[in-house]
Amino acid sequence: MHGDPQKEHQWLQRLVGEWTFEGECSMGPDQPPMKSTGSEVVRSLGGLWTIGEGQGEMPEGGTCQSIMTLGYDPQTKRFVGTFIASVMTRLWVYDGSLDAAEKVLTLDTEGPKFTGEGLAKYQDIIEFISDDHRTLSSQILGDDGQWHSFMIAH
């Protein structure tokens, strides 16, 4: 089945390129934020998909490698994708949407709670500040029904 790029696919092509990042992550209210740095190379697959390959230094030492795939499904009118990393065994599956201003892509997913007991709802949020500056932030839906941000990378 052949797919023609839609405006949503064109939005994803803004991610294509070589990026460096600085990030901050907090793994709990009683733990200090940890800083990290790294790089990501994002390439296009036929103008319909992006594949981002990242590498970063872990705050406690060592390196983490990751792969993020993103696309758009015109039938469901939803952004779709996956995320894997060398430091975790979970395949994260994305289902997302773009805001009305077309600056923020919110990717919903589900994964293990920080406690290791049960699953929680997560969001990874990509926001374009300018053509050469974007953020990736992550938040978890707490037992209190509120979203709690725990990571941001510029």
Q: How confident is the model over 21-32, as pLDDT tens digits?
A: 999 988 766 778
**The pLDDT of residue 1 is above 60:** no
In order of 34, 63, 149, 150, the CA distances from 27 in angstroms are 8, 18, 10, 7
Structure confidence by residue, pLDDT tens digits, 78-120: 999 999 999 999 999 999 999 999 999 999 999 999 888 899 9
For the segment 119-148, what is each residue's pLDDT rounded down to a tens digit? 999 999 999 999 999 999 999 999 999 999
Indicate the average pLDDT of the chain: 93
Q: What is the C-alpha separation between 37 and 23, in angstroms, rounded?
A: 6
pLDDT (tens digit per residue) in 12-54: 999 999 999 999 988 766 778 888 899 999 999 999 999 999 9
pLDDT of residue 56: 93
Residue 54: alpha-carbon gap to chain centroid: 11
Which domains are seen in the chain, by residue range?
A: 7-24+35-153 (2.40.128.20)
Any long-range contacts for 80-85 (C-beta under 8 Å, 24+ apart)? Answer: 81/107, 83/109, 83/124
pLDDT value, residue 30: 76
Alpha-carbon distance values, 35 to 26, 39, 68, 101, 110 (Å): 9, 14, 21, 30, 24
